[in-house]
Homo-oligomer: A and B are copies of this chain.
Amino acid sequence: MAEKVTIATVARHAQVSRQTVSNVINAPQLVRPETRQRVQDAIVALGYRANQAARQMRTGRSRLIAVRIEPTRDGINGTVLDRFLHGLTETAEASGYRVMLYTAPDVDREIAAYGDLLSAYELDGFVITGTDHGDPRTAWLAEREIPFVTFGRPWDHPHAHSWVDVDGAAGTAEATAHLVTAGHHRTGFIGWPAGSGVGDDRRAGWRRALLDAGMDPDGLDVQTEDGIAEGARAARELLGRPVPPSALVCASDSLALGALQTLRSAGTAVPVIGFDDTPVAAAVGLSSVSQPLGDAAARCVDLLTDLLDGPHRDPRQVLLRPALVLRHPA
């Protein structure tokens, strides 16, 4: 174990008082350049790093951000979190923060965990993923004035707090427009049941794109739960209609993959575009709408540190544009 080098070691080495060292670190403008340089040299020479625990005791701030790692849902969409987490960690490091993980089986237990996290580690803030309509977690945090940013919009109150999100409607609209441009006059949509903010948003994009192109979306979409089997079933239903669609946009890669299976076994050449650009999509050559997860994570950290630096800043919102990734099925 390396020798412990504290602020006192540095002070001795640089022939100044402990306080001067602290000033060099936290308020450099108070120290004469000459002295400052001597201290900084000593810091480098000794490899000094401020002890966070001691600093935290004094300042009450831990430079720690908490993120929940979810219990890997269906696996195929679950990989989104992975990339997001990496981006988060990377950006946080650059801003002098660290990411701490926690888990919770449900929302109630997650809120209980906040208490633990907050009183034991004095976390500076939270990044909350996967928010839903009237999310009790954000309410709990807001009530206690604990800084947080969500990845995902609060659909009911768009300006309630800081958030970062990806413009799903823009994504499906672009996918739809691409198919329209390619000459498809009947582009269908397989999406989730109405009521989920994310799902409604993605459907709205498809609808808007068709209307913009002067086409009628009616009778071209179907609502189903997420899943490969569900996607396959939905595609069968659409194909069985009197005037079937000639192309498909789906609300998720799972649905798209299922649709692809149906189409393949039916021998129909109907192009499909999925959503999320999961590894599965890349593997089977499925075109998909890709979320800029690295950017999203970076902006989450930006917004959160912004809140942390000035406690009473107004919340800010960031909406990112996804990208359409075109592939050729094998």
Contacts and interface: CB of A to CB of B under 8 A. Distances in A.
A189 B120 CA distance: 52
Contact of A50 (B99, B120, B278): B120
Interface in A59-115: 62, 64, 69-72, 74-76, 78-79, 81-83, 85-86, 89-90, 93, 98-103, 115
Interface of A: 1-2, 4-5, 47-54, 56-57, 62, 64, 69-72, 74-76, 78-79, 81-83, 85-86, 89-90, 93, 98-103, 115-116, 118-122, 144-146, 228, 254, 257, 261, 265, 278-280, 282-284, 330
B53 A282 contact: no
A78 B145 contact: no
Given A86-B69, A86-B71, A279-B79, A53 B49 contact: no
A104 to B, nearest CB: 9
Contact of A103 (B50, B70, B82, B89): B89
Contact of A53 (B48, B62, B70, B278): B62
Nearest to A79: B79
Contacts of A257: 283
B57 A72 contact: no
Contacts of A71: 86
Nearest to A113: B93
A82 B278 CA distance: 14
* Chain B CB within 10 A, most for which of A51, A75, A283, A330: A283
Contact of A78 (B74, B79, B146, B330): B79
Contacts of A261: 330
Given A69-B89, A100-B99, A101-B98, A78 B279 contact: yes
